[in-house]
A = this chain, B = another copy of it.
Amino acid sequence: MTISSRFSVAIHMLTLVALSPPEVISSDFLARSVNTNPALIRKIMAMLKKAELIQVKPGVAGATLTKSLTEISLLEIYQAVAVVEPNELFGIHDQPNPACPIGRNIQATIEPIFITAQSAMERVLEQIMLSDVVKDIEQLTN
């Protein structure tokens, strides 16, 4: 099990948008850097657009960020590409036996624990901004 690489691809894409001249940002250009298909890039672009993280004009290259780098957290990107639904990182077996005292209560007992664990993970993503990623990349490229 892994969380879909859509998330890492989206971070990669937004980093490219942040660091490249607007006129070169086409789905073809992004696809070459990510090393995948332009259609897949456009699908993820649609998700980022729907989440209002980027602006895109149909027919014209040059996506732009709608906010400054310091205002975009990794959590927002993660939510934009819908790799994990809210409170559903952990799957719980559906229909334990209600005739069994443990079966009847196991879901209610486990669920808050799972939500706490998922939240701890998401809080880390919430505190890391796209600007942090861009800074790291810039240091490595210099």
Contact = CB atoms under 8 A, between A and B. Distances in A.
A133 interface: yes
A4 interface: yes
Contacts of A16: 102
A2 B141 CA distance: 35
Chain A at the B interface: SS class:
helix
Number of this chain's copies in the complex: 2
Interface in A34-89: 34-36, 74, 83-85, 88-89
- Which range contains the number of A residues in contact with the other chain? 35 or more
Contacts of A3: 1, 89-91
B1 A84 contact: yes
A125 B89 CA distance: 13
Interface of A: 1-5, 7-9, 11-12, 15-16, 19, 32-36, 74, 83-85, 88-97, 100-106, 108-110, 113-114, 116-118, 120-125, 128, 133, 136-137, 140-141
